[in-house]
Amino acid sequence: MEETREESPAFQDVWRARIARRDALRGLGALAAGLAVGRAAHAEAALGTDAPDPTNLARGPVTRESRSTLRFAEVPQGVDDRMHVPPGHTASVVIAWGDPVVAGAPPFDPAQVTRERQELQFGTENDFLAFLPLPRGSGSSTHGLLCANHEGAQLRMMFPGLEDRSTALARSTRAQVEAEMAALGHSVVEVELVDGRWRVVAASRYGRRITAASTWMRATGPAAGHARLCTSEDSTGARILGTFNCCAGGVTPWGTVLVCEENVNKHFSGKSFPASERRNHARMGVGSEVEYGWSRFHARFDAEREPHEPNRHGWVVEYDPYDPLSVPVKRTALGRFKHEGAATTLAPDGRVVVYMGDDDEHEFVYRFVSARPFDPTDPAANRDLLDTGELCVARFEPDGTLRWLPLVHGVGPLTQEHGFASQADVLIEARSAATLLGATRMDRPEDVESNPATGRVYVLLTNNTKRVPGEQDAANPRAPNRHGHVLELVPPTARDGLRDHAAAAYRWEVFLFAGDPFELPSTTEITQRAAYHPEVSRDGWFTCPDNAAFDAQGRLWIATDGGSRLGIADGIWATDTLGPGRALTRRFFRAPVGAEVCGPCFTPDCTTLFVAVQHPGESDARGSSKGVHHARPTARFPDYDEALPARSAVVAIRREDGGALG
């Protein structure tokens, strides 16, 4: 099913006219501001009048440095095999692929990459990061648990002799595939700050690996036990082996971690499916984007033989990192799609709100609101809060209103007539249900994060080269969208002054359009132009926003994935969200060639920023992986040893004087 809701011609006319009038402003920074004012004016009557004041982008003859509250010197653009931070800062590796995690784990040996070793060692391609203080609830910024997702693996970078993806798919051995399966999932390590440098606590009782190969999980919520989750291996539909393609995530108010399953379809083979699953598998891309050879050795990844196995993946997994024996739980009430993240906050009445993006072209932004409130005095009462509540999908109106549409069986078109016999069907096929409701098709929504200082919500849209002219809408006005953009959602203010994250309608506006604002108009269509604060520097622009974090002042720190296509390295950029420095992005960290940057995560006192450097050395400065493999990476990060391959790693960034970052 395809969405048929048309774009607003009036909006497109206004938008293009404003571009023409304001193109003289470098980067079109004032364009984003003008759009915010125009749209917000239509929605303020119902949703409040506390929009950002975009006119401050043009106030006063002040310098770029004085506009921004950020005081670090920008890292210059460029590409090489090293990581770079501003003067006065240090960046050190905390842990890398193959390093010991579980007590008794052997050290990394590139000649002995096995399932048995990987079950005890740090996995590949670390993505989402979370720092949870030790002891629990202490607020410590010098001792805690570092939790990391492991999104994927590339056999060509793990083993010699498998020099490209097609060779790896056809020639990899069972032992290599099972090592790959064990390398995915999640890791927990205990870390402490000693003499200004973070180190892993060896043989910690908290050390844990959660993998695709061996970790059994429970399914809970409306889809648990449904026939569409039952397989020949599990007739209950409630006991699931493994998690994989774990991208971003979140942390709950009660101190558990949410692990998000994203591109799970790439692990399943098959072309012919039962009629009951054809629409479902087609919408998730099952069988059409195979990148892993797991089905050659494990029948459960052959979707023709086990057509329900794909339905057991693509969920949000919750587990307790403080309890190494806790059983991870797949929370089906949060819906099944390609989850990029699951950021939590609280509504004024204490109900838990989870924001989620579906990381694919033309997919959607979601929100879950728990039925019961969080109880900070009773941990047991919070254990299953995410099993009951309402899942909604976003529709962005041209007038600046955001409406949350409930994904509830029997409401509107979500009925048997349209293929939804129960709430379980709605959740298993959340994408199809959202399309039927007329949700807005987005440009790859990845992280969706709530600013703890202001209550505003930021949606990072990475790019969408599949959007063609004529498919634009108010929230996604570039076609194709090569660079991505960031939206700002403004929940209404409740009586107690808090943002009401459970409200049925918000306001929304564009925060920035990514891309190079210095690109000459003759080299691109005017509708592709970037839009930041008009005084952004030549080092301050970026492409393809991916993950984000907020510091204690509510400043937005953005990680990117896609710079290599433009000949620049990915990294971290920071910006104010309010005031004279709003959308004045500044480059803070530059990753080695071939790497994307993920999972930015602060300690409570903001003196350390942990970042994930994922798949370093996998491609050259223009994004090509031709001729790049285990023996020939473009960067030997982090060891720079000719005897060792490139390794994904977690990096800790600190100021040399120990002060707060920024």
- The pLDDT tens digits of the residues spanning 597-639 come to 999 999 999 999 999 999 999 999 888 999 999 999 999 999 9
How far, CA to CA in Å, does 553 sit from each of 451, 453, 658? 9, 7, 17
Does a structural domain hold residue 1? Answer: no
Sign of CA dihedral 80, 81, 85, 86: negative
Name the band, by pLDDT with cuts 50, 70 and 90, for residue 519.
confident
Considering the domain boundaries, does residue 299 fall inside one? no
The helix/strand/coil state of 602 is strand
Task: Show the tokens assigned to 445.
Answer: 């929504």
Q: State percent of the chain over pLDDT 70.
A: 89
Does some domain include residue 458?
Answer: yes
pLDDT digits (tens, 9 = 90+) for 200-256: 999 999 999 999 999 999 999 999 999 999 999 999 999 999 999 999 999 999 999
The proportion of the chain whose per-residue pLDDT surpasses 90, expressed as a percent, equals: 85
Q: Cβ atoms within 10 A of the Cβ of 286, count?
A: 27
pLDDT value at residue 58: 28
Structure tokens at 570: 């990915």
pLDDT, residue 20, reads 38
The whole-number average pLDDT for the span 434-463 is 98
pLDDT digits (tens, 9 = 90+) for 293-323: 999 999 999 999 999 999 999 999 999 999 9
> What's the confidence (pLDDT) of residue 529?
86
Which two structure tokens, joined as six digits, stand for 65? 């440095």
**Measuring CA to CA, how many Å separate 511 from each of 29, 177, 423?**
10, 43, 35
| Structural domain includes residue 624 | no
Interatomic CA distance for residues 268 and 445, integer angstroms: 23
Distance from C-alpha of 353 to C-alpha of 455, rounded to nearest angstrom:
12
Residue 490 neighbours by CB distance under 10 Å: 25
What integer is the mean pLDDT of 463-487? 96
* Residue 659: closest CA among 2, 14, 71: 71
C-alpha 232, offset from chain centre: 33
Our count of domains for the chain comes to: 1
Q: What is the pLDDT of residue 147?
A: 98
Q: Is the pLDDT of residue 505 over 70?
A: yes
Among 36, 49, 70, residue whose Cα is nearest residue 531:
36
pLDDT at position 527: 64
Secondary structure element (H or E) that encloses residue 388, with its range: none
Strands 545-550 and 401-406: unpaired
SS3 of 296-308: HCCHHHECCCCCC
Residue 26 has pLDDT above 90, yes or no: no
Q: Is residue 286 part of a domain?
A: no
Is the pTM higher than 0.85? The answer reads yes
Helix 9-22 and helix 29-47, axial crossing angle in degrees, nearest 10: 140
Helix 430-437 to helix 275-284 angle (10° resolution) is: 80
Q: Kindly state whether residue 304 falls inside one of the protein's structural domains.
A: no
Q: Please, which pLDDT band fits residue 547 given cuts at 50, 70 and 90?
A: very high
Partners of 330 in the β-ladder: 219, 317
Residues 369, 367: Cα–Cα separation, whole Å = 7
Given a cut of 50, whether residue 658 has pLDDT beyond it is yes
Residue 43 has pLDDT above 70, yes or no: no
Closest listed residue to residue 75, CA positions, set 551, 570, 485, 544 = 570
Q: Which of 82-96, 124-138, 160-174, 437-451 has the lowest mean pLDDT?
A: 160-174
Q: What confidence score (pLDDT) does residue 524 get?
A: 56
Half-sphere exposure of 174 (CA within 13 A, CB side): 4
Whether residue 545 is contained in a domain is answered as: yes
Question: Cα 278 to chain center, whole Å?
Answer: 28
**3-state SS, residue 498:** coil
Average pLDDT score over residue span 55-84: 73
Beta-ladder partners of 241 = 216
Taking CA atoms, 204 is separated from 100, 325, 606, in Å, by 10, 14, 25
At CA 310, angle to CA 618 and CA 410, rounded to 5?
Answer: 125
* Mean pLDDT within 459-475: 96
Q: Strand order in 596-602's β-sheet?
A: 89-96, 649-655, 608-614, 596-602
Tokens standing for residue 157: 């970078």
CB contact at 8 A, 543 and 560: yes
Q: pLDDT for 135-168, tens place per residue?
A: 999 999 999 999 999 999 999 999 999 999 899 9
Round the average pLDDT of the chain to a whole number and report it.
90
Q: Mind listing the pLDDT tens digit for each residue in 162-188?
A: 999 899 999 999 999 999 999 999 999
Work out the pLDDT band at 24, boundaries 50, 70, 90: very low
Which amino acid is it at 187?
Answer: S
The pLDDT tens digits of the residues spanning 92-115 come to: 999 999 999 999 999 999 999 999
Residue-level pLDDT at 47: 36
- Do 539 and 587 contact (CB within 8 A), yes or no? yes
Q: Is the pLDDT of residue 6 over 60?
A: no
Peptide bond into 274 cis (omega under 30): no
Pairing of strands 556-560, 445-450: unpaired
| Domain residue limits at 216 | 9-89+102-262+314-609+631-655
* 300 occurs within a structural domain: no
Mean pLDDT throughout 338-355? Answer: 98
pLDDT (mean) for 497-503:
96
